[in-house]
Structure 1
Amino acid sequence: MVVDIPYSALVDPAADISAQLEEAYGPAGLGILTVSGVTRFPELRRKLLPLAARVAALPAAARAQLEDPTSHFNIGWSCGRETLEGGQPDTRKGSFYANPLHDDPVPGHSDLQRRYPAYCAPNLWPHDDLPQLEGAVKALGQLIMEVGLLLARHCDMYCSTRGGYPPRLHDILQQSPCPKARLLHYFAPVSETSGSGRAPSQQWCGWHTDHGSLTGLCSALYLDAAGQPTACPDPQAGLHVRDRSGKVTQVAIPADSIGFQIGEAMQIQSGGLLRGTPHCVVAPRQDLSAGISRNTFAVFMQPRWDCPVDLPAGARPEDVGIGQWRPGLDFGSFSTLTFESYYK
């Protein structure tokens, strides 16, 4: 059961949601919770998610104009650039990345764009081919961030109470000019039937843990071959999370709620009090889902590139458990180590 926190509790600075945070983000938690009751969210979600399929269907030449290799394809269009287990290119999904706050997060600083292109590169928008995309991404992305910052403030209160750590998680995110929004289109599964005529399950997105601080997630929108909304055709498809005991749990985010997952940077900066979990997206079986795609949206709230990814005073490195992390890294360096494991 996924923990849900009403928006009315988040906006109340005196509300005590520490028990819910511990259940969701503590050592035995799933690393994810939902926030319900955000008034403008359902409408903005309905406007944006169908555009994921339209970006993926743009002519090849138009999509090529939206690619940015210098940012590790972390701006604009990306498809087949990440690698799956075994080193195979991931062509099962296409992504459109943008900074929802700033079209140019570091104006006049070409040196930072060269050094930290994944965070400092300017946005690329399909103004001619899909002009409504920019406004839709920014509107939903900024709303998710507003809610995420409220959640981060409560996370600070939780860490102060549980670990005696000074509050800083909210300020780290509020002061960062480089959040990243990702609009995702998971292509209809390719037919790979077994001898019984029933296709084995495929992963639309392989197992991974987000390396940022806090990831805001929308419930997915499934579209049929005609581009019309449809129900998820396979009850086993969708987001799956592996907790620290190794148990895998399917997570369903209600269509009118926002999911928030803990990332590795916040796990470190909270001294391990807040913990992320590996997760993947399982595609529906082909025999149940011919022509059906999945469309969703995530906002990665993360520190500035030069923010130290460090432990709070009194925390121990062994409490963190992040493989690529070591003391002394800033977020830019920490991210580079992560990207090198995912991208060609």
Structure 2
Amino acid sequence: MEDEVDAEILEPFELNFSDLLILSSSTMNSSSSSSSSISKEEKERLESITRTIMETLGPTGLGLLTITGVPKASDLRQTLLPLARKLALLNNEDRRRILKEHGLGSDVSLKNPDRSVSSFSMQLKYAQSQSSDQGGDSLGGQLDDLNADSFHEFMDDEFRNLGKTFKELGVCMMELGLQLARICDRFFGGKEIEQSILDSSMAKGRLIHYHSCLENIILKGAEKRKGSRKMLVSHPLSCHNSPGNRVSPMPHEGLNMETCPIAAKTCPTSLSNLWQQWHYDYGIFTILTAPMFISACHQPNTEAKDDGFWKSPEQKHLPSGHTYLQIFDSNKNKVFVVRSRPDCFLIQVGESADIISRGKLHSTLHSVSKPVNLKNLSRETFVVFLQPAWDKTFSVSHYPKESSTLNGQCSNKEMNSSSILHRPEQETSKIYQKIFEIIPPLSSRLKDGMTFAEFSRETTKQYYGSSGIQSNR
């Protein structure tokens, strides 16, 4: 197609959780007495990791890394992510009641049967992190509750730990972002990034279900049958409503790249086959779970498909390592498809971090693509957005001229030498030009002295407002 281009596979730098803890601790402070107890070899190893982190998140990197080995997080992910699909496919009345009971809302119109995404959100407070590990409210105890035999017996039981698990995993992810901010600040010689996050006192958590094409058909059909109190997942094309048919992903090793419709080396990207259009996040850090993929079952007794994705109606498979997250590399003018392991957390740099660090951190231009040949595959993920306080004031007047790294296209005249004006090179292919045509330039959204609240409103307006660039997309 005219608007497609081959995307390369990206396996981001993996930071082990144990190293994250050490690098963000006072032990790594050169003035700390405990730093002298670290061997020379260990110091060199940790310093090398720090340099890699900053190169990955800096102007020459992609603004994206992964964190592995976070204790108990994988169990929480396994519990929470399938609930995104279950919530999305409930009728409006039951979903509204359950969301209210657990303190969740939504920032998309859940009554729109044409929606491609269902999002369930909650404000997470940093104070929660101080109480989550005290008393008997441990992660282990929570998981014991979630494994109760009656988990699937009634609808309310199915969601009874929704809010608790949401907060537990959200607080864990908030801590990862704070620790990474501490490492960045220490490398830069300041405390502004971490303090900007702490000053906000809260973050936004978002549980997201990306609808398969089949589910959109089900939603539209159910819209015609308003008044029914049956869950939409009881549709004959679904196979997990009966007891014992719990929604669960197949193990990561269920497929290899040879059996996956996505080519092992390249993958076509376009502007028309996307779950989420190209954009920058405007906060500081965006922390994401590796996505979970769930395949809607075919009608009973359907034999295995030639594509290898369904060996039986009950099985769900995860494409081998693919997240369907796409990253645009402004240094190389290339699109990368991100691949990661299921137990990884992904952390992306947002525009606020780019601004606060004066270009030392590089915001990530990204989108989420749809599987080309898998119409029945849905995508589940959980995201936490770390942002500055609403009254945080941005200054761009001291942006260093040498930080203009986005293809050398920035200028003082446009935006005080900001490295994040989001302008493509003249020689980029048509797909890249189209990507930048739907991204409102930072120079039109950010003015010197603007607060974060003003910046976020202007950004939302220019992306999705009535006259926004992506308002009708």
TM-score normalised by structure 1 residue count = 0.77
C-alpha contact (below 8 Å) 1:237/1:282 kept by paired residues = no
**1:159 matched residue in structure 2:** 188
C-alpha contact (below 8 Å) 2:321/2:342 kept by paired residues = no
Take 1:128 and 1:102, find their aligned partners in 2: how far apart are those partners? 28
User: SS at 2:371's partner residue?
Assistant: coil
> Which structure has the larger Rg over C-alpha atoms?
2
Q: What is the number of equivalent residue pairs in this alignment?
A: 297
**2:330 matched residue in structure 1:** 244
| 1:276-323 CA-partner distances (Å, limit 9, x unpaired) | 1210111112xx323221100110011111111335967463134241
| TM superposition shift of 1:330 | 1.0
| TM superposition shift of 1:244 | 1.1
- The change in CA–CA distance for 1:127 and 1:204 in structure 2 (over 3 A counts) is same
**1:121 matched residue in structure 2:** none
Amino acid at match of 2:280: T
Amino acid at match of 2:371: P
C-alpha contact (below 8 Å) 1:207/1:280 kept by paired residues = yes
**2:57 matched residue in structure 1:** 25
| TM superposition shift of 1:94 | 0.8
User: SS at 2:61's partner residue?
Assistant: coil
Take 1:103 and 1:293, find their aligned partners in 2: how far apart are those partners? 34
Take 2:322 and 2:75, find their aligned partners in 1: how far apart are those partners? 27
- The change in CA–CA distance for 1:146 and 1:64 in structure 2 (over 3 A counts) is same
| TM superposition shift of 1:37 | 1.3
| TM superposition shift of 1:253 | 2.7
TM-score normalised by structure 2 residue count = 0.57
More helix by share: 2
Give the RMSD, CA atoms, in angstroms: 3.2
**2:316 matched residue in structure 1:** 230
**1:274 matched residue in structure 2:** 361
State the percentage of identical aligned residues: 31
1:218 aligns with 2:289: yes
Amino acid at match of 1:219: A
Take 1:7 and 1:238, find their aligned partners in 2: how far apart are those partners? 24
User: SS at 1:11's partner residue?
Assistant: helix
Matches within 5 A, 1:33-182: 33-63=65-95, 76-80=105-109, 91-101=115-125, 130-160=159-189, 166-182=190-206
- The change in CA–CA distance for 1:274 and 1:99 in structure 2 (over 3 A counts) is same
**1:8 matched residue in structure 2:** 18
- The change in CA–CA distance for 1:7 and 1:133 in structure 2 (over 3 A counts) is same
**1:326 matched residue in structure 2:** 447
| TM superposition shift of 1:101 | 2.3
- The change in CA–CA distance for 1:137 and 1:250 in structure 2 (over 3 A counts) is same
| TM superposition shift of 1:343 | 4.7
- The change in CA–CA distance for 1:203 and 1:229 in structure 2 (over 3 A counts) is farther
5+ residue gaps, structure 2:
1-10, 29-45, 129-154, 216-269, 298-312, 402-415, 422-441, 467-473
- The change in CA–CA distance for 1:102 and 1:61 in structure 2 (over 3 A counts) is farther
| 1:225-256 CA-partner distances (Å, limit 9, x unpaired) | 15967334598770010011321011123211
Amino acid at match of 1:266: A
| TM superposition shift of 1:135 | 0.6
